Amino acid sequence: MTEIASNPTDAVRYQRLNRGLLLGYAGSSLLAYFVLPLLTHQVSSAWAWGLLPLALIANGYWATLHEAIHGQLLVRADSNRRAGRLLAILWGSSYRLLRFGHLMHHRFNRHRLDRPDSYDPAMTSRGKARLRFYAEMLGGLYVVELLTPLLYLLPARWVGRLVTTLYAGDEAPMPRLRALAEQALAGVKGMAEIRQDALIAWSLMVAGGIAWGPYWPAFLGFLLGRGLLVSLLDNVYHFGTPLDRVDYAYNLSLPRPLQRLFLNMNMHRLHHRRMQLPWWQLPRYFTADQEHYDGALIAGALRQLNGPLPIAPPSRPQAMAGRAPRVS
């Protein structure tokens, strides 16, 4: 793969932009939680409509949090972690949980717990698989992200058992994944951090609901709306991809303004192959590595509505946009 010399000037410029993204998205949540309800009560109920654009930028919010998860949002590791934790809490979840889940997705892509679009007909009925798939895609993923930290308010031994049970099984890579989960999510430090995040995140959401008062359905709609947008596209880059290709994903095209909102994460196969790259370097490497788009993101999102697929033979991606994707 081609290597491109980094430009220190670009790095400084984009670090400045990353700090702006952090402040902007953190501020957008606080605006939705506490400022807009004040304006709605004191000035005009029309201010409640301000929640709509704040919900519509949800994928940009997640992309910024995603940069922190990969250690690329801020230069210093401790500052980057604090930034990621702030964004995760204002998202309603825990940075440690989100980071673990996402990094394991990269390391063990398409393992048993990481393929909502596929099911084994010998183990699961088509109806049950479809119900689970649509529930997760239409906001259920976000609901899980909200509720899982609350489980950490249970006694520690119960939490440990839940983590072990979730990653039970002897098939690869479950034993290794289970050991990593027990270390990261069931240790004393991990549990304490996730409990703190859960208490802060839910205290903020409850306080936000109280601040909105009789307009609380608008606030709930904001939370669920941004969760829907992220849940809907969470697996779009992997829908129908081979179960035995850890580094495989689709590159899906977007109009330039949306690609900027998504911080180039639509170049998803490239991201999996070069996950150490910050978002602003992806377009250069997309060209240098002679990558290509497998279709449009909107087409990929609509294609998911066909429902989950029975497990296919290894190394045979489902057709994307009417043709089998090439692998460069």
Task: Quote the pLDDT of residue 1.
Answer: 65
Instruction: Please give the full DSSP string across 194-246, using - where no structure is assigned.
Output: HHHHHHHHHHHHHHHHHHHGGGHHHHHHHHHHHHHHHHHHTTTTTTT--TT-T
Q: What is the CA 237 to chain-centroid distance, rounded?
A: 12
Residue 52's SS3 state is helix
- Whole-number Å distance between alpha carbons of 42 and 225: 25
Average pLDDT over residues 302-321: 74
Give tens-digit pLDDT for 195-235: 999 999 999 999 999 999 999 999 999 999 999 999 999 99
pLDDT band for position 5 (50/70/90)? low
The answer to whether the beta carbons of residues 225 and 58 sit under 8 Å apart is yes
- Whole-number Å distance between alpha carbons of 321 and 314: 20
Give, rounded to a whole angstrom, the gap between the first and last alpha carbons of the chain: 11
Question: Two tokens at 116?
Answer: 């909502």
Task: Quote the pLDDT of residue 3.
Answer: 74
Identity at 51, one-letter amino acid code: L
Give tens-digit pLDDT for 35-91: 999 999 999 999 999 999 999 999 999 999 999 999 999 999 999 999 999 999 999
Of 315, 310, 309, 313, the closest CA to residue 327 belongs to 315
H or E, element range at 73: none
Give tens-digit pLDDT for 261-270: 999 999 999 9
% of the chain beyond a pLDDT of 90 = 88
pLDDT reading at 314 higher than 60? no
Give tens-digit pLDDT for 78-90: 999 999 999 999 9
Q: What is the pTM of this model?
A: 0.92
